Structure 1
Amino acid sequence: MHRSILLPALLLLAAQSAPPATAPESVPVAGVSVVARYPHDPAAFTQGLSWCDGVLYESTGHVGRSDVRRVDPASGKIIARAPIPADLFGEGSACWKDALYSVTWTTGEAFRWDRASLRRTGRFSYVGEGWGLTSDGASLVLSDGTDRLRFIDPDGFTERRSVAVTLNGRPLTQLNELEFVEGEILANVWMTGFIARIDPASGKVTGLIDLRPLVAEVAMADRDAVANGIAYDPAGKRLFVTGKTWPTLFEIAVGEPIGRAQ
């Protein structure tokens, strides 16, 4: 029997305006099982995670120590890295063809890196904050802390369109790290321990993934050490998650619904 799950943390992130006076909505909440555990750099303030052509890439944050890196997932060792300018706070990253793109938090600057060498090959400006980044195969997709996802032209880093994200009819903000997986966008919802499954056409949250057991397992004392980082290996159909300064990279399987969010 599935149970109803009240999600006060998520509902607090929603706008205060009530949805239309119709029957209450709810979305399914799925649990996860751990397929494998791998070492992860406990000093990495993970902001972006991507699996591209068999290689794991990561971007990290904090002023003065933000970088983009190529990582061996089996050992957690850093194979190569490139610093983000020391005065900037690095955020999400995503692969596009033979490049890696990364964004910054409040400074409106994005970078393009050659994936093979991690040499910086471009610098762009955008309006607003940068949180998470992914690619749907046609555009880059940027989250900025609001309820909107912005679809970005990789050539000039200009906005093509945006979509408002809603959970049970209410705007959902604090969308953080993003990953495009089999036609949907997965987004860590900051400070909640949940991943939202988002329809990129409508912006509707179609389900939630509960990572709270993994949050409990790593038992981080720092409140900023939240779940953040989603990578998908399309060839192996493998899903990876981690968090900021977590010592573990988890390969997970998403299970059946354990309840519904109201």
Structure 2
Amino acid sequence: MKKTYSALLFSLFIVALGACSQKETTTSETTYSGGKLFIIGGGSRPASLINSMIDESGIREAGYALVLPMATTLPDRAIESGKKQFTDNGILAVGAINFIEGETPTKAQLDSVRNAKLIYIPGGSQNRFMDVVAGTEIEKAIWESFNKGNMIAGTSAGAAVMSEKMITGTQLLRPDDSGFKVIEQGNTDLADGLGFIKNAIIDQHFVVRSRFNRLLSLTMENPNLKCIGIDESTAIVVSGDKVKVVGLSQVLVFDAQGKAPNLQGVKLGAKDINLSIYLDGDEFSLN
């Protein structure tokens, strides 16, 4: 009974925040030109990284954060840790909604999403997250929040969903392999993500988990897209086409510069792939 009562109080809290924010933004929606993305490569999130996310979002001045834990099978744990990273760094206006696949969200829940100053998507399975939101009013509300100038942030699976072409983690040709051991065509599965980044593909846990073969394959198969590997405890802040690196490790960007690959069977080959390795404070363009 106590748990149910607490959940009810929380729901009323976050819905009230959404309603208040909606009133505040109604007259100024036309002034927004798109929000920011804060894309974390997974792993531990030091206070410096969380504070960068908070500061970039502007949430210290106004608004609230909202955790969307649908990527994980342990949403209560994701909500607890997701909220704690904000409250530990001075942000008390933070809540969460765990939408369930197939259930119709209420108008109040959707208002809470579209009016959140910062939406945070924890890790888990990017496929599970998209199964819940793809083609729904929830996805539309997330986009509406972004288009109002708010921040969409995520880590691990929450990073993978940011691009239009989303790495699922599945190997199509070698489903029993534990890692991507070869560089070949047609092995790395892609699906539709949220689509905030249309000219790049995002990979995460990149250096720690040695995901070079996976991203190199995608670089050659998608020569007109940049392929971005974000390591753990590191993030990129995306504002339009401008990207800034923050965190403890590195971000690698592969660019085939529009050149089609060479093929021998399913083996991929290419010349002059551009590789850049960026550190904290470095900036680059998605163009």
Tell me the TM-score normalized by structure 1: 0.31
Q: Which has the larger radius of gyration?
A: 2
Give the TM-score normalised by the residue count of structure 2: 0.29
Higher RCO (CA < 8 A, seq sep 6+): 1
Higher helix share: 2
Give the number of the structure whose residues are more often strand, by fraction: 1
